[in-house]
Every structure is written in C-alpha cells, then in structure tokens.
Chain A
Amino acid sequence: AQSVTQPDIHITVSEGASLELRCNYSYGATPYLFWYVQSPGQGLQLLLKYFSGDTLVQGIKGFEAEFKRSQSSFNLRKPSVHWSDAAEYFCAVGAQGGATNKLIFGTGTLLAVQP
C-alpha cells in the first residue's frame, strides 16, 4: 500500500539556521509529490510540488525540495529559517490507481524556531 513517512515528529532550529525536513514515500510508479504547511487553526498551504522533470523544485517562501527516486525521498530544505516558518509541515503523495486527486499524507513535522 502507498504510504508517506515523515520520521521527525518535532524539530527545533535556531532562527537563521538551515533546515531539512525528511519525507520518504512508498509508490510503484513516478509519484506526484507535495509539501504543504499548516499554521495553527488554518488550512494547508502548498509550498511546492513535483510532478516530473527537474528533480530540484523551488517553492514559495524560499523553500526547495529534491526528489531522489533511488532513495524514495522528497526532503524539504531551507537555507535560513525565519521565526515565521514555525508551523507544521506535511509531505503528501498523489494516490495511484486511475483518475483521482486523492492525496496520502505523512504524519507531519512540527517545526519550532528559537530566537
């Protein structure tokens, strides 16, 4: 069965430090991959997506992610974290099997930013 794993439940970084959030997926073919961010009490905002092509994708707010097929990973990175980046981050994969927009989400990584 398809699945998405985010091994880090909670991460704390200092403001200005670099960030990498891990995401591993289980998928039989070329996946559609997404990173979303959620602030408390809010919906999900798309940070970036990978459908095909260049394996390094750029997103909003200075985020980027790299698709590595050999490692089944799609890790999210940011070179310098800002206090406003504190939120929960979700990795998701588009489900296989016919015409569907269903997403399968990881359990999320809660990011705290220290001043």
Chain B
Amino acid sequence: KAGVTQTPRYLIKTRGQQVTLSCSPISGHRSVSWYQQTPGQGLQFLFEYFSETQRNKGNFPGRFSGRQFSNSRSEMNVSTLELGDSALYLCASTQGERETQYFGPGTRLLVL
C-alpha cells in the first residue's frame, strides 16, 4: 500500500496570505489528523477528521481550519498567515479507532 502523501512538500508565503495543504491517507483509512511541529512548541495536535466530520480540535485559533472529503483525503487551511505559523505540518492517517497513526512526510511552510 502507498503511504500517506502530503502536497506540497515546501511552501513559502508572506504574512497575511492564506495557504491550503493537502493530505491523502493510506487507502482504507478513515481518520486523518493534523499536527504542527515547531522547534519551540514541539508537536501539537491541530484537528482530526473521521468520515468527513471533525471530531477533535486542538488549541489553535480559528484561522486554522480543515475538511475531509468522501474519499478520506483531507485539506487544512490557514488564513491570514503570521510569522509564527512557520512550521512543519504533519498529517497522519488511521484505519479505525485507537489504532496506529501513520505519518506523511510533512509540508514545510515558511512565512516571510
């Protein structure tokens, strides 16, 4: 099976812009979670989608949003980018409940 794929791998944006990141889970996986990784804050949970519904959300401002499509692919969007949004954004997919999460390679976002 193909692993979790994320596109794009690298992005450079300027403050105030918005960005959309994409994640394709492993075939058959219904749950997609997003994490932000920064040197200062480490790995922080953003949100989780399961069967097109957001069922868990981390402590991030409303500028961070996401959605999941019927084929389980997920997108996350960040509006009005700030310098502090520069990070590695990781997506993980899981087949069912409380099972292993498999991570993609990440999208590295740089905000200038």
Contacts and interface: CB of A to CB of B under 8 A. Distances in A.
Contacts, number: 63
A46 B102 contact: yes
| Chain B interface bracket (under 10, 10 to 19, 20 to 34, 35 or more) | 20 to 34
Most B CB contacts (10 A, CB to CB) among A34, A101, A108 go to A101
Q: B-side binding surface: helix, strand, loop or mixed?
A: strand
Interface string A86-115: 000010101100011111111110000000
Given A42-B106, A102-B58, 20 more contacts: A32-B98, A36-B103, A41-B108, A42-B105, A43-B106, A44-B90, A44-B92, A45-B103, A46-B102, A99-B50, A99-B97, A101-B50, A101-B92, A102-B45, A102-B48, A102-B56, A103-B43, A103-B45, A105-B35, A106-B42
4 tightest CB-CB pairs across the interface, nearest first? A105-B43, A44-B103, A43-B103, A43-B105
Interface of B: 4, 31, 33, 35, 42-43, 45, 48, 50, 55-56, 58, 90, 92, 94, 97-106, 108
